[in-house]
A and B are shown apart, each in its own frame.
Chain A
C-alpha cells in the first residue's frame, strides 16, 4: 500500500512549489482502517444568514447535537440524532461572522444600527430582507450599512475566538473529533464558488473572506502563507451544481485557460469536493449523463437564493469535472480536478437533518415545518421543495482523532453518502487476483497489493487489466442495498467519455447484455404511511471486477456508486404528517446512495 504514485507525486508538488507539508501519510496495514462518519459543513447563529432565519443555536449547541444531545429548532420541535456522528466541523460563514447575532445583544453598539431593527424583526420575511440588503451592500463593496467597521470587525474577532475555543473544548480524541473551520462565501454574479476551509490543528488565523477577494486563488495564497507557521488546512468546494458551470471549468477565475501551475495549486489545496448536501447532489445531471438511469436524483437547478435558473451544466458537476480534469492532464500534464468525495449537511440551524424521516429543513423558520416546506411559504428565492435531506462524509481512518481523520481527508480515502451510514470500500490494482472482498484478511491484502479509494494506479505489467475490489454494507437502520456500480470516465482522441457498469446486484438479477441495464430492484414503499420494508435488496454486496474495456494507453478514472432500495423522500413523510398526498412534481421515493472517491489510472506525461 505504501509508496503509490499519488503520494510521491504529491511530494514532488510540495518540493517544487515549496508549499510545505500537506499531511498525507498513508494508512498502513498494521491496523485496519474504519469508517467514520461526520459533517464538515454546518452553520449556526454565528452565520449572518442563519441568524436572520431565526436560528439561535451556537457552535456549542451544534457540537453537543452531533454528540447526541437534543436541540430546539427555530421553527419549533426538538430534534436529536438517533446515533451521534463521529466528527464535525462547524463552518460558519467567514463574512460578518457573529455580526448579525451581536445586533440582538443590547450591550453591543451593533444593536443600535438601523439595520439591527430589521435583523431582529420577529417577522422572518423582514429579517431575511435585511440579510439580502447586507449581501447586496457587500457585493457593491459598501459596508456603511453596518456602521463603524471597528465594531463589526471586532465582533468577527470575538466570534472566531469563540469558534476555536468551542471546537477545542468538544474534541474528545478517540471518541469525537472536531475541526476548526469556516465557509468562504464567494459567488461572483451569483455563481456559487463557496468553499469550506478545514484546519488540522487547534488554532487558526482569523478567516479569509470573499470581501478580501472573491478569487479562490487568493484564498489558497492566504493559506499557503499560514503553512510556514505550521498551520495546515484543506479547502473543500461545494454546490458546484449551482455554479452555472463556473466551479469546474476549463478556465481560471479570470477567464484564462487553466495552466499547469494553477492545476497543481488547485489539486494540492482542494483534494476533496462535497458532492451531496441539502442543496442537491453535484454528481451529474440527466442532461450530462443521458444514459445514467439514476442521474435524476435531488437535482437543484436554480441560483442560490434566487429564482434565476442554471443553464450551464458542464463545469457544474463532479463526473463532468473528472472528465475535464483528465483532458487538462493530457494537455498540461497536471490534473486540477483530482479530488476525492465527501457529503455534508450545510444546515443553518445547528441541526444535521440526515434522516428523511426527521428532515427539519436547512434555512431555519423558512423551511422549518412541513407546511412551510410543502407549501413553499417562503420560496422567494430558492425552491425549498427541491432541497434534499443532508449528506455525510465517510472517512477510512485508523482512529477517531484530528490527525487520523484529517490525513485520510488529505489522501482522499473518503466517500460521500446522501445520509445513511452505509460503508463502502474500493481498491484497485494489477495484482489483486484471488482476493475476495468480504473474505477473511481481504482488507490487509488489498492495502498491500493495491491502492484504496482516492489513490492512483501506475502502469501495470503488459497485457494485464486492473481489478477493482468493491464492498458495501448497509446502514443498520436504513434501507437494504440495491446495487454497486462502477462509474468510469476516460479520454480518447481529445474527447472524454463515461460509462456505468453494474458490478454487484442484489437477488438473482443479471445485466441484460442487449441493453446493458439490470432490472429495477423493486419498491416496497407504502406511500400513505411513509414506510418501507427491507424484504428486497441485500444487507451487503461485493465484487471483484476487471474492467473489460481497459486500454493501457488511455487515461481514466473510476469511482463506485452504491444504491439503496427505494425509500420515502422527506416530502413523503411531510405529506403523511399533514394527511395530504405528495404534491405533484416531487419524487415520492428516492434511492439513497454512496459515492467513493475515484481511483485514477494516469499515464505519466512525456518528459
Chain B
C-alpha cells in the first residue's frame, strides 16, 4: 500500500482525481435556460458613447472589440452569479435594488397645489390639528444652583413651604431667591419660547401644576424655581384664514403619505413577515446591560452603537 502510493504517477492521478471531484462539487454544470448573449446596436452605441465621453474620440475597431469582449465576460459572470443566488444576503446589492425600487415606484412626485375647496375640506375634516399655541402666564422665583445643588434645592423647598397659600404678590416674594437672568414674569408665553429659555422638564411641569398657587421646587437647566401660574390658555380652534398656511402644509404632507401608504399597503398585502419576539427581548436586554454600564450622565441622543 505504502509502496504504490509513493509512485509518482499514481500520486499524480490521485491528486488529479481529487481536484476534479472538488471542482465538480464547486462548479456543478447547470443547464442554462437561455444561453444567448446578444450584443445589439443599442448596447454597442452605449459603449461607443461612453468611450467617446471619456477619451474625446471614437474607439478603433480593436478597442471596441476589447470593450465588447470584456462586457461579454462580465455578462457571463453576472448570469452565473445570479444563478448561484450570489445576490442573496448581500447587503450592498440589497440596498441598491431597494433604492431602484424606491425610485421607480415611490410617489415622490411634485404634488399639485391644492385649490381653495380642497383646503376648506381638509380644514373641516381636521379641525383638531389647527389650534392656537398652548400659552401660559406665570411668575417664578429663581434659586441658582451654583456649586451646591443640595443647598439650592433646600432653599427652594423651604421657600415653597413658607409661600404655601400666600398671594401671588405677597411681600415675602421679593425677599426670596436669586436674580433671574431672563424675566420673573411671563405673559401668554408659548411652549416653544418657554422651552428655549427653561428646557423640557420645566415646560412640561408648567402644563401640569395647579393654577393660582406657589408651587415648587420645579427644576430647569438653570436652577430651581417656585412657580405661580396665573393662567393657562388651552389651545383654541383657529379661523380658516389664520390657519391657511398650516392647512396647506398639512394637506401636502397628507397627500404624500397617503400615496406612500397606498404603495406600502400593496406591498404588505403580498407578504407575511414573522418576527422572533424572544430574540427582540434578548437583544434589548443585552443592550440595556451594555448601556447601563457605559452610558455617561450627559449622553442623550442615540449614537452609533
Using a CB–CB distance below 8 Å, which chain A residues touch chain B? 34-35, 37, 56, 58, 75-83, 86, 104-107, 112-114, 120, 122-123, 144-145, 147, 161-162, 165, 169-175, 355, 357-360, 368-370, 400, 421, 438-440, 471, 473-478, 526, 529-532, 534-536, 539-540, 542, 567, 573, 576-577
Q: Are B99 and A56 in contact (CB under 8 A)?
A: yes
**In the A-B complex, the 6 residue pairs with the closest CB atoms:** A476-B221, A358-B301, A122-B92, A476-B199, A540-B181, A114-B50
Report B93-113 residues with CB < 8 Å from chain A CB: 93, 95-96, 99-100, 103-104, 108, 110
Asked if B221 and A477 sit within 8 Å, CB to CB, the answer is yes
B296 touches A107 (CB 8 A): no
Contacts of B296 in A (CB 8 A): 357, 526, 529-531, 573, 576
> CA A104 – CA B305 in complex, angstroms?
29
**Contact among A34, A37, A531 with B297 in the assembled complex (CB-CB below 8 Å):** A531
Q: Which residues of A contact B304 (CB under 8 A)?
A: 75-77, 360, 368-370, 577
Task: List, in ascending order, chain A residues with CB within 8 A of B53's CB.
Answer: 113-114, 144-145, 147
For B56, what are the chain A residues with a Cβ–Cβ distance below 8 Å? Answer: 144
Neighbouring A residues of B217 by C-beta, 8 Å: none
Q: Cβ of A536 and Cβ of B100 under 8 Å apart? A: no
Closest residue of chain A to B109 (Cβ to Cβ) is A162
Q: 4 new A-B pairs (CB below 8 Å) besides A145-B54, A440-B184, A530-B296?
A: A114-B54, A122-B95, A357-B296, A539-B222
- Return the chain A residue nearest B178 by Cβ: A539
Q: How far is the CA of A169 from the CA of B299 in the complex (A)?
A: 33
**How far apart are the CA atoms of A168 and B240 in the complex, in Å?**
19
B253: which A residues are within 8 A, CB to CB? Answer: 169
How many B residues, CB 8 Å from partner?
A: 55
Decide: B301 and A104 in contact? CB cutoff 8 A. Answer: no
Indicate whether A77 sits within 8 Å of B303 (C-beta atoms), given known contacts A474-B222, A539-B145: yes
CB distance from B182 to the nearest CB of A (A): 7
Closest chain A residue to B297 by CB distance? A531
B103 pairs with A105, CB closer than 8 A:
yes
A536 to B148, CA, bound (A): 10
Interface string of B99-132 (1 = CB under 8 A from A): 1100110001010000000000000000000000
Q: How far is the CA of A140 from the CA of B224 in the complex (A)?
A: 62
Q: Nearest B residue to A439 by beta-carbon distance?
A: B179
Query: Is the CB–CB distance between B222 and A473 below 8 Å?
Result: yes
Q: Which residues of A contact B183 (CB under 8 A)?
A: 440
In the complex, chain B residues whose CB is within 8 Å of the CB of A530: 296, 298-299
Q: Which residues of A contact B147 (CB under 8 A)?
A: 535-536
**Which residue in chain B gives the minimum CB-CB distance to A368?**
B304
Which residues in A have their C-beta under 8 angstroms from that of B96? Answer: 120, 122
Task: Choose among A86, A113, A476 the residue that contacts B222 (Cβ–Cβ < 8 A).
Answer: A476
Q: How far is the CB of B14 from chain A (nearest CB, A)?
A: 42
A35 is contacted by which of B93, B196, B297, B300 (Cβ under 8 Å)? B196
Q: How far is the CA of A115 from the CA of B53 in the complex (A)?
A: 10
B176 at the interface (CB under 8 A from A): no
Q: Looking at the complex, which one of B46, B252, B299, B301 makes contact with A112 (CB distance below 8 Å)?
A: B46
Q: How close is A437's CB to chain B, nearest CB, in angstroms?
A: 9
A540 to B220, CA, bound (A): 14
Question: With A83-B195, A106-B104, A161-B110 given, is the CB distance from A573 to B299 under 8 Å?
Answer: yes
Q: Give the Cβ gap from B145 to chain A, nearest Cβ, in Å.
A: 7
* B133 cross-chain contacts in A, Cβ below 8 A: 174-175
* B182, B221, B248 — most chain A CB neighbours (10 Å): B221
Inter-chain contacts of A535 with B (CB < 8 A)? 147, 149
Q: State the CA gap A277–B54 with chains docked (Å).
A: 37
- Contact of A370 with B301 in the complex, beta carbons under 8 Å: no
Using Cβ atoms and an 8 Å threshold, which residues of chain B touch A534? Answer: 145
Given A104-B99, A104-B100, A122-B93, verify A476-B303 contact (CB < 8 Å): no
| Of the residues B95, B184, B200, B301, contact of A355 by C-beta under 8 Å | B301
A440: chain B residues within 8 A (beta carbon): 183-184
Q: Does B70 count as interface, using CB distance less than 8 angstroms?
A: no
- Does B22 count as interface, using CB distance less than 8 angstroms? no
Q: How far is the CA of A215 from the CA of B133 in the complex (A)?
A: 46
Q: Is the CB of A532 within 8 A of B298?
A: yes
Q: How far is the CA of A439 from the CA of B221 in the complex (A)?
A: 20
Q: For A79, what are the chain B residues with a Cβ–Cβ distance below 8 Å? A: 301-302
Q: Which of B46, B144, B303 has the most chain A CB within a 10 Å cutoff?
A: B303
A592 to B182, CA, bound (A): 21
Q: Is the CB of A172 within 8 A of B104?
A: no
Is residue B245 contacting chain A, with contact meaning CB distance below 8 A? Answer: yes
A484 to chain B, nearest CB (A): 12
B249 contacts A170, C-beta separation under 8 Å: yes
Docked complex Cα distance between A539 and B11 (Å): 85
Shortest distance between the CB of B48 and any CB in chain A (Å)? 11
A81 to B200, CA, bound (A): 13
Q: In this assembly, does B192 line the interface, its C-beta being within 8 Å of a C-beta of chain A?
A: yes
Contact A357 B298 (CB under 8 A): yes
Docked complex: B132-146 residues within 8 A CB-CB of A? 133, 144-145
